[in-house]
């Protein structure tokens, strides 16, 4: 490993935007394929390799293939524990995983047992002493509409109260070209009122000014992507002003946006715009398995693309602590951890 690679691996990091089924590594996919050879799924169908570009639509086809491979409690337990350990091995000290609870009639999987299994995986890793604090965001897939969104919020509320602080919020994701945010507003409002933190995918594709404006009025606690918020790419100053005024952090995923073709080149990535504004921006992976990346590569990529120093990148990872959904005491513990690790990382 070269010097730079070692630095970004050792840099303590916070991962706030990771979809569970998009984060499955090639090793875990191999194990799943071994469990289900009859599906005839090949590895090339579940990942987008180096230099390959896809449309966002094609990315969503990939998730459907992975969902076929992950359809029992046993699968979810394996996937979640593997993903957590991989993030830990990459130097992630705090992780918020998100996933859409699914029901599978054939295997008896229910939405409730889906969430319980992810929670079990988190607890199992903790009891094994894996050095990472993991929390969970229950995800709403926007394509499933109003009723499912409300049902998901109720489930998330139950788990927020019964999971010992592990379920901290709600994610709104799914194919951004399907459905409209206004149909999901009552569910999101209810979630907010009950104390769930909200991370919403906003303006991931162009021409969603009206929807974005509506959802920004909630306001959400964090924004996923926000690729088309600013005026230069067809967004608007008033959207930017709302984000800035409410100090809503952005979760930014460079490789995902370039491979999914919503950003043409790394140097065009909106990280630059928000970083120059001094607005809280957190580098994340989105789907490390599908996009063949990890968080240390994303930090390295941001640094090399935008000419940032190691000290700048340290500051970015440290500032991400203020954007987590876990309570203040956890932020303090993480800040202490960063202080303790500083000499070793800059040795």
SS3 of 98, please? strand
H or E element that contains 316: helix 310-319
Cβ closest to ligand 6MZ, residue 11 vs residue 24: 24
Name residues contacting ligand 6MZ, limited to 162-191 (CB under 6 A): 173-174
Q: Is 287 in the site for ligand 6MZ (CB under 6 A)?
A: yes
Cβ closest to ligand 6MZ, residue 64 vs residue 265: 64
CA 100, 297, 82, 57 torsion: positive or negative?
A: positive
Tokens 């924004």 identify what position? 223
The distance of closest approach from Cβ of residue 329 to ligand 6MZ in the complex, given in angstroms and rounded to an integer, is 28
From the number of C-beta atoms within 10 Å of its C-beta (0-12, 13-18, 19+), residue 308 rates as: middle
Cβ closest to ligand 6MZ, residue 257 vs residue 318: 257
String of contacts with ligand 6MZ for each residue 99-138, x by CB under 6 A? xx--------------------------------------
Cβ closest to ligand 6MZ, residue 81 vs residue 100: 100
For this structure, is 58 an active site residue?
Answer: no
CA 159 to chain centre: 19
String of contacts with ligand 6MZ for each residue 16-45, x by CB under 6 A? ---xxxx-----------------------
The distance of closest approach from Cβ of residue 171 to ligand 6MZ in the complex, given in angstroms and rounded to an integer, is 8
Output the CA–CA distances (angstroms, integers) from residue 347 to 176, 317, 341, in the order listed.
44, 18, 10
CA 120 to chain centre: 20
Is the preceding peptide bond at 219 cis, omega within 30 degrees of 0? yes
Binding residue count for ligand 6MZ, defined by CB under 6 A = 18
Catalytic residue (choose from 15, 96, 104, 204): 204
The distance of closest approach from Cβ of residue 253 to ligand 6MZ in the complex, given in angstroms and rounded to an integer, is 8
Q: Which stretch binds ligand 6MZ (CB under 6 A): 15-23, 40-48, 212-220, 298-306?
A: 15-23
Cβ closest to ligand 6MZ, residue 28 vs residue 173: 173
Choose which of 12, 181, 235, 260 interacts with ligand 6MZ (CB under 6 A): 260
From the number of C-beta atoms within 10 Å of its C-beta (0-12, 13-18, 19+), residue 100 rates as: buried
* 235 vs 233: CA distance, rounded Å: 6
Output the CA–CA distances (angstroms, integers) from residue 208 to 50, 190, 212, 220, in the order listed.
30, 23, 6, 16
CA 320, 93, 141, 67 torsion: positive or negative?
A: positive
Task: Give the residue numbers annotated as catalytic, written as ranges.
Answer: 204
Q: Contact positions toward ligand 6MZ, by CB under 6 A?
A: 19-22, 59, 63, 99-100, 139, 141, 173-174, 201, 204, 256, 260, 286-287
């Amino acid at each position: 490993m070269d010097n730079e690679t070692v630095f970004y691996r050792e840099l303590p990091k916070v991962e706030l935007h990771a979809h569970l089924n998009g984060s499955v590594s090639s090793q875990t996919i191999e194990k799943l394929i071994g469990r289900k050879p009859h599906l005839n799924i090949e590895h090339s169908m579940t990942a987008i390799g180096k230099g390959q570009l896809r449309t966002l639509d094609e990315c969503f086809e990939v998730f459907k293939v992975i969902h076929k491979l992950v359809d029992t409690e046993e699968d979810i337990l394996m996937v979640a524990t593997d993903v957590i350990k991989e993030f830990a091995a990459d130097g992630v000290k705090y992780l918020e995983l998100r996933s859409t609870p699914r029901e599978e009639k054939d295997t008896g999987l229910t939405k409730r047992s889906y969430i319980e299994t992810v929670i079990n995986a988190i607890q199992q890793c903790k009891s094994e002493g894996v050095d990472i604090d993991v929390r969970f965001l229950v995800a709403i897939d926007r394509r499933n509409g109003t009723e499912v969104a409300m049902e998901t919020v109720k489930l998330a509320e139950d788990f927020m109260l019964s999971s010992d602080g592990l379920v901290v919020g709600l994610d709104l994701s799914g194919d951004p070209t399907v459905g409209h945010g206004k149909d999901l507003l009552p569910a999101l409002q209810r979630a907010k009122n009950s104390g769930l933190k909200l991370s919403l995918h906003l303006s991931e594709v162009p021409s969603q000014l009206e929807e974005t404006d509506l959802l920004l009025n909630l306001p959400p606690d964090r924004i996923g992507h926000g690729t088309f918020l600013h005026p230069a790419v067809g967004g608007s100053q008033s959207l930017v002003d709302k984000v800035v005024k409410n100090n809503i952090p952005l979760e930014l995923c460079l490789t995902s946006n370039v491979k999914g073709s919503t950003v043409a080149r790394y140097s065009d990535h909106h990280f630059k715009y928000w970083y120059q504004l001094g607005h809280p921006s957190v580098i994340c992976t989105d789907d490390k398995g599908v996009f063949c990346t990890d968080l240390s590569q994303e930090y390295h990529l941001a640094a090399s693309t935008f000419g940032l120093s190691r000290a700048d990148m340290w500051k970015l990872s440290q500032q991400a602590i203020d954007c987590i959904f876990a309570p203040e005491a956890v932020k303090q513990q993480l800040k202490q951890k960063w202080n303790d690790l500083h000499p070793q990382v800059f040795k």
